[in-house]
C-alpha cells in the first residue's frame, strides 16, 4: 500500500482541485488556508460577483495582466473575513507563487507561511517584503500526476 499523503501533499492537492474552478483563461490558481492542520478557507481566481467570466467572453488584459479576476489568495482571505474566521498564524497553500498584491495582503492578514508548488513571475519586491516580514516561504515538491494515479488505483 502507498504511504499516506503528507499534509503538504493533501493541502496542495486541495489547492490544485480549487484551481479547476478558475474562470480566467490565462492561469488557473487555487489557494487553501490552513490553521492547526485544518482547512479554514479556499479560493480560486474568478470574477467579481455579477461580472462576466473570462472563459465566457474574454480576459480584460491591461499591462499583460488580466484585471477582471480576484486572485485565489485574496478570495480565500475574503472568505475568512466574510465568515469571521481569523487568519492569524495560518499557512496558505497556493498552486503558484503569489503576485505582489496578494503577497502584501497575505502578510497583512497575519498568515505566517506560504507554501507554493510552481514559480510564476516571482516578483522581487514581493520576495523582499516576505523576507522583511518574517513570513516563511516553502516551495513544495508536488506532483499532480502521482496524486491522480493514486486516486485512480482505489
Candidates 1-9, 22-30, 106-114, 131-139 — which segment interacts with Zn ion by CB under 5 A? 22-30
Residue count, binding to Zn ion (CB under 5 A): 8
Cα(11)–Cα(14) distance, rounded to whole angstroms?
5
Smallest distance, Zn ion to C-beta of residue 98, A: 5
Q: Which residues pair with 33 in a beta bridge?
A: 41, 92
Smallest distance, Zn ion to C-beta of residue 148, A: 26
Q: What crossing angle do the helices spanning 72-83 and 7-19 adopt, rounded to 10°?
A: 100
Assess whether 73 carries a catalytic annotation: yes
Q: Which of the residues 73, 88, 124, 127 is marked catalytic? A: 73
Site string for Zn ion, 100-119 (x = CB under 5 A): --x-----------------
DSSP-derived letter for residue 146 is H
- According to CB under 5 A, which residues from 37 to 76 bind Zn ion? 54, 59, 66, 68, 71
Judged by phi (left if over 0) then psi (alpha if -120 to 50, else beta), residue 134 lies in left
Smallest distance, Zn ion to C-beta of residue 66, A: 3
Q: What angle do CA 65, 92, 50 make, to 5 degrees?
A: 50
Binding site for Zn ion (CB under 5 A): 24, 54, 59, 66, 68, 71, 99, 102
Amino acid at each position: 500500500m502507498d504511504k499516506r499523503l503528507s499534509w503538504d501533499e493533501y493541502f496542495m492537492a486541495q489547492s490544485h482541485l480549487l484551481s479547476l474552478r478558475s474562470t480566467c483563461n490565462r492561469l488557473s490558481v487555487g489557494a487553501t488556508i490552513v490553521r492547526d492542520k485544518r482547512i479554514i478557507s479556499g479560493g480560486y481566481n474568478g470574477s467579481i460577483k455579477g461580472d462576466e467570466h473570462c472563459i465566457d467572453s474574454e480576459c480584460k488584459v491591461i499591462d499583460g495582466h488580466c484585471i477582471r479576476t480576484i486572485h485565489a489568495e485574496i478570495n480565500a482571505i475574503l472568505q475568512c473575513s466574510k465568515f469571521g474566521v481569523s487568519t492569524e498564524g495560518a499557512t496558505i497553500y497556493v498552486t503558484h507563487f503569489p503576485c505582489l498584491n496578494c503577497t502584501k495582503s497575505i502578510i497583512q492578514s497575519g498568515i505566517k507561511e506560504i507554501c507554493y508548488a510552481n514559480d510564476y513571475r516571482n516578483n522581487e519586491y514581493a520576495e523582499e517584503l516576505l523576507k522583511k516580514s518574517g513570513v516563511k516561504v516553502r516551495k513544495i515538491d508536488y506532483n499532480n500526476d502521482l496524486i491522480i494515479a493514486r486516486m485512480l488505483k482505489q
